Structure 1
Amino acid sequence: MPPALGADGESADAVAAASADFRGAMLHSMEAAVDQAWAPLADAANGAVDYLATTIVTASCSSLASQLRRTTSQFRHTNREPPTTPSPFVAKLFALLAAAETRVGDMQCSDDARDFVRATRLRLRASVCADVSREMARACSEALSTISKTEASLLRLRRTRTGGTGGGSDAAARGVPDDLPVPAGVDLRGAAPTADNDKIRRQVWLDVAETARIIAEHGAQPHHEFAAFEQLIAPLGT
């Protein structure tokens, strides 16, 4: 039986194939147009997320220095017991992120937009966690360095008053800087610190460890500066 012919003599199969090719070409053209139109919108959305992340980090970390000074005052000449828990301010570093994620998650959107919303939340989370951890590492490093420098200065003064040779610390005599976050010979692992400065160091370690735990709980990664700093202060831990 001969194939059915269309109005212009073409077979029905040929007409169907041509129609399918035309629809495919049109669909591809429409997808390309959508991709082209979406590109600047995606860039704008990513820029907005980055701006929001910067705003959150700035607000969350604005009081880091004062919080660490408070840590110092809590243990300096107070005869307090050695710390065993992180400071309350650490959890608050991520409070604004949680609020922002909740707002984004509460957005009413179609099923097609849910992947975009999820990607937005993940981008925001990754950016905030990385930048907060970087600021935490820098602030804690400065605080620990200040403690070490003050400690070394007091040691020099004490040696000068007692007629010690050189008036400098052993570290300085060996050419080791006096302002290291973890001074040479300091290792608090396996013991409860008794000196005030060591109690402060332990508290800083607890706070850094808690920061790392919260970031891991978020499924994010800390900044590389934070990761290096966490390894550096390992001797201050339990």
Structure 2
Amino acid sequence: MFDYLHQFNSLPQALKDKVSSPQVMSALAELEKRYQVDLAMVVMKVMIKSLDIKDLSSTLISESNLLTNQAEALTKEMKEKVFAEVADYVGISSEIRSLNLENDLDKLIKASGISIASAELADRLRNILKTYLKGIRSRIDTRQSLTKSVADGGLGLNNLEVDRVFKVCDIEKFQPGGSSPLSSSPSRLTEIMGQDIKEKEVAKIDVAEYDLKKSLASGETKSIAPPSPVKTGE
């Protein structure tokens, strides 16, 4: 366990900052409470490449005794809330772009104030806007699809409603070809995350798994201290 921490502390500061910001730590605590699992060691293992994030779901099933649907849901949330800022590093950048687009669609529809009568039409609206945001559908074609009658495969929106949709796209910078970027949060733990493990003299070695979150919050890390020198007779 201590070797994992040492390797984690040896990572570039920028990477450590991105997975130890207040937002990430808060999200991690909430996930642990909701799923009743300890995720600190999981985060460290993924960051030091000891655990491939592609195997995260199966690892949660085997080591945390989660059901398959629980493990898959938790994996998805961890990718969005914990590893999103290091997506390129852990190899999920394409997944995160897709997840961000889905989030953008929800925000866009809500902000535009468009009222949709059924789930089927809501899905139709999402599909039309998704192709627009991906750059597949032009602004003119998107307007035509949104104003086309429901019977003809459109949404039946009027021009004012469509203008509101495009206005939200422009204001929030939901532009074709990409979604809005995630904000970068500064770390509140730069001192502890930037240093190596501090050695402490201890009478007994506690072999319990190292609790990353508690150590980070308290500003302390645990380490195995070197044995005390053996006293010889004088």
Superposition TM-score tier, normalisation by shorter sequence: under 0.3
Q: Which has the higher helix share?
A: 1
User: Greater Rg, structure 1 or structure 2?
Assistant: 1
**Which TM-score applies when normalising by structure 2?**
0.25
**Which TM-score applies when normalising by structure 1?**
0.25
